[in-house]
Structure 1
Amino acid sequence: MTADATADGVAQRVVVRYAPVTGRITEELETPRYGAYLRRAEAGPVATGDEWGHFVSRGCGATADVTLTVEAVEGGDRVGETTEFEFAPATEADEDASATGDGG
């Protein structure tokens, strides 16, 4: 266990890159309810490179698909009730690498 790991293995913070990048998706990801949703939906082991397919609300019952890729995990190795999420927009280079299968 690393010096900054929690005793129960729960990650303190998970940095997630998201795509596509739109104003509406950014707004939705940054709401407290979305973090609460991810803590439930992705509870358990987490590692850099994990990719999650989810969706966000576009309003009026409509949704938009979003791909979340774990960029960093701090303080533990699993998502738990106290894990905080930080969202970083994907860049064009990230999306181009993903499209060509050269993501690493």
Structure 2
Amino acid sequence: MDYAIKTPSQLRPILQGFRKSAGLTQAAVAELLGITQQSYAQLEANPAAASVERIFKVMRLLNVDLRLSQTLAAASSESASVATPKRQRSAPAVKKVRPVTAKKKKENW
């Protein structure tokens, strides 16, 4: 079955569903990936924060393919935006600086 994903928040229930349909626990997936259960739980809880490479590793493990397709709405809105005249530029956005915090040990997977 195919699932249309239009926002990163939609990844969580889909990843959980594929994992559960494969009969795997978070601990089992984590073991197969060579990471801790806590690390996998974090990825599954917030997949939008994970790298694409990590998402692909999980998808390969769960035998899930990624298919991209262009929707008709996207194609028509894109052509409409091309015809729209340019607006004047606004002032550049100010970058926020993150506070320095203690680094956590990252797992290499």
Q: Same fold (TM over 0.5)?
A: no
- Structure with the higher helix share, 1 or 2: 2
TM bracket, shorter-chain basis: under 0.3
Greater Rg, structure 1 or structure 2?
A: 2
Could you state the TM-score of these two structures normalised by the residue count of structure 1?
Answer: 0.22
- Structure with the higher strand share, 1 or 2: 1
